[in-house]
Amino acid sequence: MIEVQHLYKSFGTVEVLRDINAKFAKGKVSQIIGKSGSGKSVLAKCIIGLYKPTKGKVLYDGKSFHDMEKDEQRQLRQEIGMLFQSNALFDSLTVLENVLFPLRMFATMSEKEMLERAHFCLKRVKIENSDKKFPAEISGGMQKRVGIARAIAMNPKYLFVDEPNSGLDPQTSIVIDDLIREITDEYNTTTVVITHDMNSVMGIADEIFFINDKQLMWQGTRDQLLKSDNEALNAFIFAGSLMREVRKTIT
Amino acid sequence: MDLLFHIGRYFMLMGEVFSKPERLSIYWKRTVEEMDLLGVKSLGIVSLLSLFMGAVITIQTKTNIDSPLIPQYVVGFTARQSTILEFSPTIISLILAGKVGSTIAAEIGSMRVREQIDALDIMGVNSAGYLILPKIIATALINPFLIVISMFLSIFGGWLAGTLTGIISSSSYIQGVQYDFDSYIVVYALIKTVVFAIVIATVSSYQGYYTSGGTREVGISSTKAVVYSDVVILIMNYLLTQMLLL
Ligand SMILES: Nc1ncnc2c1ncn2[C@@H]1O[C@H](COP(=O)(O)OP(=O)(O)O)[C@@H](O)[C@H]1O
Ligand SMILES: [Mg+2]
């Protein structure tokens, strides 16, 4: 479980996040939603420690990340898998080498076992026969999947995903969403997904966190989401025509 | 104020760079790759420049001291001294700052803006160490070889130009090159070379590592890497010369 307590974040004098409190449960897909520029990525980066919060704590199974020694933080991070918005695959490495990378860096197994593990992860995301290709030579959807394979290589306890569907067609988006759901169930990870895609929310979210006007404005399940009378939330979730149809059927 | 901020952050980054590596074998493999990329691939430009500079030094020396009172071998002697003392270690390092420095800053900078450094950090990798340390070791190891090659080629270029144009005989040039040779100047040159190599690798890595924004900023970092490496090399050149030769 990951717990965010009274987290504030400003850049210089510009406040981006104010007093965020949230719990992300183990084995569940928690989705952070909100408009573009509302601070979702900043929140994620504070949680994983790429940014230091201006105030507040982030607890990983009770231990405060930002109070740990650097070595301890690195240790913990080996248990975190992250899929970046831009994939962040290493473009000088092949698909296979990208997945091998964290194993080569940290795993205590033989070369043969590492190769087996990497192939297992690639197979898990349904990528085969692309070992020797470079990231630039495969499609955006495949890059996402390789990113997922790399993120799960070390058997993470925590999985972070930033905008998994941006730049993907609807069909490929569903494939990626399903993978995130399945991996969460299989590995019992604490999964945090950032998105502004309502299809993804309706597809896989267990718990939804709505960031608006620097604050965590609303939190709840999918059912609660559709029935909520929070104005800003409704304006956000029913912005798309498909969701407006959904609304007609529930009211 | 700004300068102090950068100097402080530079040394903090170096602290990270020189902290314990995760897997030595991986760092060593990366160092060998960097030696190829940053060193071996610079051999062409270094050779070309050295040959021509040696040729020009020789012709200029000859035309400037064309007096019957000055012995012929002075041309070879001057070519050797200026090559070893200054031209090869300093000028070639400045050229390498342009080539290698911009490559380093562009590579690390584009990794930064494309979240690849974040990806390393999130995996628990010491990104500064992993990316920068192999570059420092590679340039510090390979640049002395480049500079020694440059010395030979420059002196050879001088011989070639001198004998081809007929302004000096082969034997008096060679006599000059061998005249009153003190091997300490080579030591001095190589100390400078190693220091300059470390300057190039660290200053350029610093610029790349703290790039923020997009591709435009990567370009800016790359330019800054070259300019600041050059400035620091010139300052270090002065300080080292004072320390080692006075
Ligand atoms: N490193 C940074 N420095 C200054 N401002 C930033 C930085 N990162 C993000 N911001 C600002 O924080 C706000 C939230 O950004 P972000 O979290 O990326 O939004 P999103 O919800 O779309 O992911 C934006 O206004 C952005 O300009
Ligand atoms: Mg974002």
ipTM, two decimals, is: 0.88
**Ligand 1 in reach of A41 Cβ (< 6 A):** yes
Q: What pLDDT was estimated at residue B1? A: 67
Q: Does A75 touch chain B (CB under 8 A)?
A: yes
**Ligand 1 in reach of A44 Cβ (< 6 A):** no
Residue-wise pLDDT for B56-96, tens only, equals 999 999 998 878 888 889 999 999 999 999 999 999 999 99
Residue nearest to atom 26 of ligand 1 (CA): A37
Cβ separation of B118 and A50 shorter than 8 Å?
A: yes
Report the alpha-carbon distance of residue B43 to residue B96 in Å, rounded. 10
| For residue A240, pLDDT beyond 80 | no
Q: Does A50 touch chain B (CB under 8 A)?
A: yes
- What is the C-alpha end-to-end distance of chain A, expressed in Å? 35
Residue-wise pLDDT for A49-86, tens only, equals 999 999 999 999 999 999 999 889 988 999 999 999 88
Residue-wise pLDDT for B177-234, tens only, equals 999 999 999 999 999 999 999 999 999 999 999 999 999 999 999 999 999 999 999 9
Give me the residues of B, 108-127, that contact A with CB < 8 A: 111, 114-116, 118-119, 121-126
Cβ separation of A104 and B26 shorter than 8 Å?
A: yes
CA-A162 nearest atom, ligand 1? 23
Distance A157 CA to ligand 2 centre (A): 23
Closest-approach residue (CA) in chain A for B124: A74
Closest-approach residue (CA) in chain B for A90: B116
Report the alpha-carbon distance of residue A4 to residue A29 in Å, rounded. 16
Tokens at A31, concatenated: 């989705």
**Ligand 1 in reach of A13 Cβ (< 6 A):** no
Nearest CA among B211, B27, B152 for reference residue A105:
B27
Cβ separation of B121 and A77 shorter than 8 Å?
A: yes
Cβ separation of B118 and A85 shorter than 8 Å?
A: no
Report the alpha-carbon distance of residue B111 to residue B22 in Å, rounded. 20
Residue nearest to atom 20 of ligand 1 (CA): A37
Measure Cα distances from A246 to A240, B36, B159 in Å.
Answer: 10, 60, 86
Which residue in A105, A106, A114 has the most chain B C-beta atoms within 10 A of its own C-beta, making it the best mutation to test that interface? A105
Mean pLDDT of A237-245: 79
**H helices then E strands: how many in chain B?**
11, 0
Helices (H), chain A: 40-47, 70-77, 95-106, 111-124, 140-152, 170-187, 198-204, 222-227, 231-237, 241-250
Where do the domains of chain A lie, and which CATH numbers do they carry? 1-79+188-251 (3.40.50.300)
Return the top range by mean pLDDT from A180-189, B18-27, B60-69.
Answer: A180-189
**Ligand 1 in reach of A18 Cβ (< 6 A):** no
Q: Which residues pair with A7 in a beta bridge?
A: A20
Residue-wise pLDDT for B134-147, tens only, equals 999 999 999 999 99
Report the alpha-carbon distance of residue A139 to residue A145 in Å, rounded. 10
